[in-house]
Amino acid sequence: MKKILLTIAALAVAPAAFAQVEIGLKVSPSISYLRTSSPSATSFQGESSKLSFGGGIFMDYFFGQNYAFNTGLFLTGKGGTISYLDRSSPTAAATRVEQKIAMQYLELPVTIKLFTNEVAPDTRVYFQVGGSLAVPVQARINGEKNYVDTFNGNNETSASSHVFAIDANLIGAVGAEYQLGQSTKFLAGISYHHGLVDLDRYFEKTRGFSDVAIKNSVFSLDLGLKF
């Protein structure tokens, strides 16, 4: 019994022996686009991507030599251009309308990072998986904070009211860290953020379109320093 208790105690203390916190800053230029789905009557389509930019502070909490819990707080840019069919009246011919949507989110990631041993002097590769929650802090449609819908009686609405109040994402990333000094590391990697939440709060709610879904997708180049 004594040996069993000692073994359990050793296992409980082991993660604490590896516990280490590393804090850093990261910038992430990215390409974002919007995934759409709808019935053929409105025929929503993703047209083009958007060059976005993000950055913030992050923390790696190591609970093993090669395993870390990662979180932080980032300001991220998302959006893209979509198009859809609209009519000025029930009997009018359908016209394809484009909207360029730009959004900024305050984002909280919750991920796990898995590190290899050194693949070159002072260099380790990492793989990162997890998710994030985000809230929009700003939105623009066609470069403006307000949107005038000429197919709906020139009704004017705030661009922010078109966007759902929360977003959730799946995150996958790969990259490498290079030891620059005793406690300084440079990291570079690429990540994909797959939006799970339908961000539309206008077309179904205000226009009465049915079964419209618009979701975020982002590919990022992640560059950072850890201290």
User: What tens digit of pLDDT does each residue of 48-93 get?
Assistant: 999 999 999 999 999 999 999 999 999 999 999 999 999 988 888 9
What is the DSSP track for 3-26?
HHHHHHHHHHHHHHHH-EEEEEEE
Res 5: pLDDT: 39
In a domain, 10, yes or no: no
In a domain, 187, yes or no: yes
In a domain, 5, yes or no: no
Residue 181 scores a pLDDT above 90: no
In a domain, 222, yes or no: yes
Res 90: pLDDT: 84
The strand pairing partners of 115, in sequence order, are 126
In a domain, 12, yes or no: no
Distances (CA, A) of 176 to 25, 39, 126, 214: 15, 43, 6, 33
Nearest to 133 by CA among 100, 166, 182: 166
Which structural domain, as residue segments, surrounds residue 194?
20-226
pLDDT tens figures, 148-178: 999 999 999 999 999 999 999 999 999 999 9
How far is 214 from 199, CA to CA, in rounded Å? 6
In a domain, 132, yes or no: yes
Q: pTM higher than 0.85, yes or no? A: yes
For residue 154, the domain's CATH number is: 2.40.160.20
In a domain, 140, yes or no: yes
Q: How many distinct structural domains can be found in the chain?
A: 1
In a domain, 4, yes or no: no
